[in-house]
């Protein structure tokens, strides 16, 4: 299973590296959304508003939906499912590989957007660095939830609009926990209770994906 996961993750990351969609489309979109969030706050509120962590995770939500849709579009290509079935790849390994690839992409984008919050929203550098581990954990959980709900939404004509409807209720607790952890890091509060929510969600989505991904892909 681990070998299959590494193969699938490597394949997805190589495709993204060659297509440069992440670099030239997703990251610029995230940066522009963050700039708009800074403009919405206004110069007088930047650096003084408690909304910065929430705005960061709102941008992360949009980026995650884009990346999940992109991952599903790769799977929907002609012959991809047939190739997976022919090779007899373990569905659990395929799921874990796609989660790993999506998590890596989110970690890279998240690191750039965290730097953007310091520049655009004027969040404290020390607090933002302290929040980085909790952000990485939340992004990992979002990757697991995104891959699972991407499979649940299918690959038909309505998948692009069905994906947000299915995934937003699942993303909401993670976004709240991530925002609270980020805010606590900026203001010197306790982080452990918000870490617990993200850890439990990550374990739950990984477990569900390992058990159900193959069934969802066949349906």
State the chain's mean pLDDT as an integer.
82
Assign 113 a pLDDT band (cuts: 50, 70, 90): very high
- What's the average model confidence in pLDDT over 131-159? 84
Of the listed ranges 111-115, 124-128, 136-140, the least confidently predicted one is: 124-128
Alpha helix ranges (H) inside 76-191: 80-87, 91-120, 125-153, 159-187
pLDDT in tens, 50-84: 788 889 999 999 999 988 888 777 766 555 555 55
Dist CA 1 CA 5 (whole Å): 6
Of the listed ranges 74-83, 85-94, 185-194, the least confidently predicted one is: 74-83
Of the listed ranges 48-62, 81-95, 131-145, 184-198, the least confidently predicted one is: 81-95
Report the sign of the C-alpha dihedral through residues 115, 118, 123, 124, in that order: positive
- R_g of the chain, CA atoms, integer Å: 18
Helix (H) or strand (E) holding 214: helix 192-218
Residues of the chain with pLDDT > 90: what percent? Answer: 29
Given a cut of 80, whether residue 153 has pLDDT beyond it is no
- What's the average model confidence in pLDDT over 3-23? 82
91 is written with which tokens? 């569905």
């Amino acid at each position: 299973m681990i070998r299959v996961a590494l193969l699938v993750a490597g394949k997805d990351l190589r495709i993204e590296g060659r297509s440069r969609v992440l670099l030239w489309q997703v990251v610029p979109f995230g940066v522009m959304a963050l700039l708009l969030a800074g403009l919405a706050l206004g110069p007088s509120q930047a650096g003084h508003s408690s909304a910065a962590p929430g705005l960061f995770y709102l941008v992360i939500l949009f980026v995650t939906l884009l990346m999940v849709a992109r991952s599903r579009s790769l799977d929907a290509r002609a012959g991809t499912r047939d190739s997976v079935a022919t090779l007899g790849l373990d569905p659990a390994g395929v799921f874990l590989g796609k989660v790993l690839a999506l998590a890596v992409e989110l970690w890279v984008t998240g690191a750039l957007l965290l730097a953007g919050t310091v520049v655009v929203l004027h969040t404290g550098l020390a607090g933002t660095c302290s929040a980085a581990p909790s952000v990485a954990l939340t992004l990992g959980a979002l990757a697991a939830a995104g891959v699972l709900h991407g499979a649940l939404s299918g690959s038909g004509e309505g998948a692009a609009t069905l994906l947000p409807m299915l995934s937003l209720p699942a993303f909401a607790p993670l976004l709240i926990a991530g925002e609270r952890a980020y805010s606590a890091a900026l203001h010197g509060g306790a982080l452990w209770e918000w870490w617990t929510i993200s850890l439990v969600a990550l374990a739950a989505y990984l477990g569900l994906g390992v058990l159900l991904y193959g069934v969802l892909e066949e349906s």
